[in-house]
Structure 1
Amino acid sequence: MPVKEFKLPDVGEGVAEGELVTWLVAPGDRVEEDQPVAEVETDKALVEVPSSYDGTVEELFVEEGEMVPVGDVIISFRVGEEGAGDEAAAPDESETAGDDAEPEPAAAADAAGSDATDAEPDTPSGRTFAPPSARRLARELGVDIAAVDGSGPGGRIGEADVRAHAEGGAGGADAADSGSDEAPAPTPIDAGSGGRKSAVKKRGDDGSAEPSATTAAPSAAPEPAGRETTLATPATRKVARELGVDVDDVPTDATRDGEAFVTGDDVRAYAEALESETADSAAESAPEPSPVDVSASGDAAGAGGAAGSAAEPSASGSTDETIPYRGVRRTIGKQMERSVYTAPHVTHHDTAEVDALVEAREELKPRAEERGVKLTYMPFVMKAIVAGLKEYPSLNSELREEDEEIVLKKEYNLGIAVATDAGLMVPVVEDVDEKGLFELAAEVRDLASRARERKLKPAEMKGGTFSITNFGAIGGEYATPIINYPETAILGLGAIEERPVVRERDGTSEVVPAPTLPLSLSIDHRVIDGAVAAEFANTVMEHLEHPLLLLSH
């Protein structure tokens, strides 16, 4: 059967990459067109990626947790008639996904600038079943991936298979060429590793594994492991400095974005292993693995980097927790950074006295409940904002610097910031000017509910022209909201509470309690002047303080 390769599609406006969170299929599974095959987290949403083909899953090219650029091949399918008998045939050039698809073994070697002897020869079936992490490890260890015996389903090759094959070389390339299967005696750093090779070692020019740093004399300093790049948090690097450990020497099976990732527990375990094995270095044979054997630390990291029973507390008696900065949190961070460092923010604060608004909502609530709608203050605020945007269109705009123009939007699509367990999401309510209060209330409630359940579609977070953030629902009066760039303004709502206000009665002024709504309006000062922002806020407040004016819109 022909094989079709499937690329990660554009799953959101302006999205360049996404984290593949979960595979919903496995090699050998039968799938239909439009059936979800994976969940990808990107653009502040968890998105299901549907298949473009009817067929059988041939191979998965990306592992769960990996960041994948849009356009990269993530999966391949065998398509065509059942029982065609050529299930394992590799696709020809007309059936592949193009230049972005994973190249054939020989082409991959040429692209990497390596010798032809480093290329992966075809297996008898024509394909090598191995995920990207296993292929990457094979390249690092100088292993011919096609010669590795896979222990997974259907002969799938894992990282452990690659390490086992590398250790079975009995000295590297020369031993492999001679066909020797005798494995070298384990060094102290490998003791108890269960066939897993420590990342501390590097391969010499002759392909042999260099001695581990821990086999040196007690007075000798550990040799560098040779890893050029290691990802670690600042807290982990601080621990490494305190213990006199180079993070590039610390063994780990965990990766982040294709690079080795080391935790504080890995550093502590490695330091303790060095100390323990230095004391026993006079012994010629490998010692018994200690409770904090470095390979055990690597296994723990490979399982997710969580602190296990071998984790030792820091000098202060506590163990820091590290959380990967990726997925929704990284998307939010990049968007906030882009906004703050691109648009000069100015925030205008004011307070609306909303006695009449509170009364209007109370009067309409029973009628809304009859229609199955929970009426909040948000629909009133949205209609008041539209009134202000129609009068001051510069707040409903986008600055396109490259074109040197400001686009005044004619649609009124308001984004509503929703706090979720995964971070802040901003679903968009379209055409607010054309909808009534009850319709807006129902739509906002539906979008907010699905945002918290991670069920929003990417299209439901596109096309906003102005945003609202209701921090008053949690508590607080004023804030400095960050603009949802490339929009040019955002309005923050404080809590509606009774506060002291000055009222005129019988010609005298007195301070009385009254419900008020604090407003915080952030603007892009390149596009909007402070005076215009104040006038817009006054228009919004006028419509909130006299809700009957909303009937005119």
Structure 2
Amino acid sequence: MPKLGESITEAAIITWFKDVGDTIEEDEMLLEVATDKVDSEVPSNISGVIEEILYKANDVIKIGETIAIIKADGSSSSKSKSKKPDSISSVVETHQKQRKPKKKPSITSRTSTSPSTSAVEISQSNLFSVSNSNTFFSPLIISIAKKHHISFEELARIPATGNKGRLRKSDVFQYIEDGRPYKFAQPVAQKDPTAYHIPQLNFDKGKGKIIEMDRMRKMIADHMVYSKHTSPHVTAYVEADLTNMVNWRNANKTAFQETYGERLTFTPLFVETVAKAIKDFPNINASVDGNNIIVKEDINIGMATALPSGNLIVPVVKKADTKNLKQLAENVNELANKARDNKLSGDDIKGSTFTISNVGTFGSVMGTPIINQPEVAILALGIIKKRPEVIETEDGDEIAIRSMMYLSLSFDHRVVDGFLGGSFVRRVADYFEQFDIERDI
């Protein structure tokens, strides 16, 4: 599995384009994989005949693991997982250990006294142990558990075959294949009588056309539920007068495109303004790691973008505070075009430190956005709408037609208090209202 982007450590196989025995040319696409929200096609780095495919669709593979064996001379030979002849080259030169079949576990073979905690609540940056057992959960195990909605308590009941009692990926997949026999087993420990228990209500879901969620929609759903569960959301609202910005943009968009060959939308202007406000309030550009707050050095602005499928994705403008308007327009337009054509790479959606969501493009007056984890705040920008407003002039108060917009900032109240959240969103609005109408392009 080749490196697919910065900070990406694993990928899930979506489909293989070739079968065992097929001939493949160098740079011909071998398989398609998924990393977070982006699908990527992986080419072969040699020409030859496919000797062996070591993983199937939906398997989650670490970067650097061998996923297929190709005989470079173009002829087929006997398969072997334990020993590879010198004439066989792998897609990646990492040894793949032989996997052994597992026996179906017995439901009475193990119980657990671990707390009933969802697997998605556990940080994926460390290894974790279960109380009164010798089982360790790796980030890969946590990722698989999250995908299949397996709780921490249920994971603790799965018989482990790894070194020193560690749970292996194959153990989890075998357990799922066996029908998850421990899914409804009761823990030995007594439940806390003061704890809140989710009521088991039988709702009438009605009848109608059934549409199965696609892979991206499932990931979005998991991410949104995780965010609401993790961060206590608070939303602050302000209103901003964008008349100067709107008039300047309308007067200069044609000249800007003729000069730089780039469309001038409102998005690069929004990104520029938000990056400027973040420099005034750097603690809004942060993430939470346990009891620590990590204030990020770079200002990377994520842009929530709708795909043709209706799903959302967040491409990232890296180091937005260091770029001028021309560079921001180029970056924004490039990412928007990639998203529209479903050609975003793993690096294009990684590293965001603060996210904006332009809900105004859908006609929404305002919104209450959900924080893009692990960030601590997200800003929603409503529709720019002309309204009669009372303004102060040298001759006194007057009623004028102004271009107004509502801003909604959702923030993580664990680390962002009302003063910081309110001050930041007010500063963004102030910069919008103070836009220089005489600015050069």
Q: TM-score, normalised by structure 2?
A: 0.68
CA 1:407/1:75 → structure 2, altered by over 3 Å: closer, same or farther? closer
CA 1:525/1:434 → structure 2, altered by over 3 Å: closer, same or farther? same
Rounded to whole Å, the distance in 2 between the matches of 1:380 and 1:88 is: 61
Rounded to whole Å, the distance in 2 between the matches of 1:440 and 1:424 is: 21
8 Å CA contact 1:481, 1:492 repeated in 2: yes
SS of 1:70's equivalent in the other structure is strand
Rounded to whole Å, the distance in 2 between the matches of 1:15 and 1:336 is: 22
- 1:331, distance to aligned residue in structure 2 (A): 1.1
Deviations 1:32-73 (A, max 9, x none): 55543112234111211233554321244556xx42222498
Matched with 1:88 is: 78
Aligned counterpart in structure 2 of residue 70 of structure 1, from 61, 70, 79: 61
Q: Is the radius of gyration larger for structure 1 or structure 2?
A: 1
Q: How does 1:303-382 map to 2 (within 5 A)?
A: 320-370=208-258, 371-382=260-271
Aligned counterpart in structure 1 of residue 322 of structure 2, from 430, 434, 437: 434
Rounded to whole Å, the distance in 2 between the matches of 1:44 and 1:550 is: 41
CA 1:342/1:352 → structure 2, altered by over 3 Å: closer, same or farther? same
Aligned counterpart in structure 2 of residue 391 of structure 1, from 262, 274, 280: 280
Deviations 1:293-338 (A, max 9, x none): xxxxxxxxxxxxxxxxxxxxxxxxx973333334111111111111
**Equivalent AA in structure 2 for residue 88 of structure 1:** S
**Equivalent AA in structure 2 for residue 517 of structure 1:** M
8 Å CA contact 2:66, 2:94 repeated in 1: no
Aligned residues: 337
Q: How does 1:72-471 map to 2 (within 5 A)?
A: 75-83=67-75, 87-93=77-83, 101=97, 103=99, 107-108=100-101, 111-112=102-103, 320-370=208-258, 371-401=260-290, 404-422=291-309, 423-471=311-359
Q: Percent identity?
A: 31
8 Å CA contact 1:42, 1:327 repeated in 2: no
**Equivalent AA in structure 1 for residue 386 of structure 2:** E
CA 1:469/1:444 → structure 2, altered by over 3 Å: closer, same or farther? same
Structural RMSD (CA): 3.3
8 Å CA contact 1:450, 1:456 repeated in 2: yes
- 1:436, distance to aligned residue in structure 2 (A): 1.5
Deviations 1:464-487 (A, max 9, x none): 111111110011111110111001
8 Å CA contact 1:78, 1:87 repeated in 2: no
Greater fraction helix: 1
Rounded to whole Å, the distance in 1 between the matches of 2:2 and 2:210 is: 29
Rounded to whole Å, the distance in 2 between the matches of 1:15 and 1:92 is: 25
Rounded to whole Å, the distance in 2 between the matches of 1:533 and 1:392 is: 9
CA 1:26/1:353 → structure 2, altered by over 3 Å: closer, same or farther? same
8 Å CA contact 1:383, 1:550 repeated in 2: no
SS of 2:78's equivalent in the other structure is coil
SS of 1:92's equivalent in the other structure is coil
SS of 1:498's equivalent in the other structure is strand
8 Å CA contact 2:13, 2:61 repeated in 1: no
8 Å CA contact 1:395, 1:528 repeated in 2: yes
8 Å CA contact 1:58, 1:75 repeated in 2: no
8 Å CA contact 2:9, 2:62 repeated in 1: no
CA 1:481/1:550 → structure 2, altered by over 3 Å: closer, same or farther? farther
Rounded to whole Å, the distance in 1 between the matches of 2:7 and 2:219 is: 12
Rounded to whole Å, the distance in 1 between the matches of 2:380 and 2:338 is: 22
Rounded to whole Å, the distance in 2 between the matches of 1:342 and 1:14 is: 23
CA 1:512/1:102 → structure 2, altered by over 3 Å: closer, same or farther? farther
Rounded to whole Å, the distance in 1 between the matches of 2:320 and 2:208 is: 46
SS of 2:368's equivalent in the other structure is coil
Unmatched 5+ stretches in structure 1: 1-6, 115-230, 232-256, 261-317
Matched with 1:504 is: 392
Rounded to whole Å, the distance in 1 between the matches of 2:345 and 2:339 is: 9
**Equivalent AA in structure 1 for residue 51 of structure 2:** E
Aligned counterpart in structure 2 of residue 55 of structure 1, from 42, 48, 58: 48
8 Å CA contact 2:300, 2:318 repeated in 1: yes
